[in-house]
Amino acid sequence: MNKEKNLEVIESLQKTVEQMKIDDIEESPESAYESFQCQCCGEEKFLAGSVTYNEHLLCNECVLTAEISFALDKIKNIDELIASMEDKRFDNVYNSIFEQDDNANN
């Protein structure tokens, strides 16, 4: 694919994934406030727009990354994306432990 076509694919997927988040909030308003720890990036994210891939619950941002990666043939399966995010996930999980400890101490 050429650069222009790649940009079209990315822009289309951005709109689609954002709409998924909007649809989730319309169908279940509490999803805009319920959080979970993304199994891809390790960040605490809102449930709205999340998707389960092979038993891995991904936040809306990671869903976008996954779908773009699939569309541009950068990954073959979700496990490849999750493996590539291992360092970021570890950092986020590690930092969240200390944030929780700091909040508990205050």
The helix (H) or strand (E) run that includes residue 45 is strand 44-46
What does the alpha-carbon distance between residue 29 and residue 12 come to, in Å, rounded to a whole number?
Answer: 25
What tens digit of pLDDT does each residue of 53-102 get? 999 999 999 999 999 999 999 999 999 999 999 988 888 888 888 876 55
User: Mean pLDDT across the chain, nearest whole number?
Assistant: 92
pLDDT of residue 93: 82
pLDDT of residue 83: 95
Residue 41 domain boundaries: 3-105
DSSP character for 63? Answer: H
- Across 19-41, average pLDDT: 96
Instruction: Please tell me the total count of domains within the chain.
Output: 1
Residue 5 dihedral angles phi and psi, to the nearest 5°: -65, -40
Contacts of 24 (CB under 8 A, 6+ apart): 31, 32, 47, 48, 49, 50
pTM of the full predicted structure?
0.85
Going from the C-alpha of 10 to that of each of 3, 49, 92, the distances in angstroms are: 10, 17, 26
- Across 28-52, average pLDDT: 96
pLDDT of residue 101: 57
Q: How is residue 85 written in tokens?
A: 């995010």
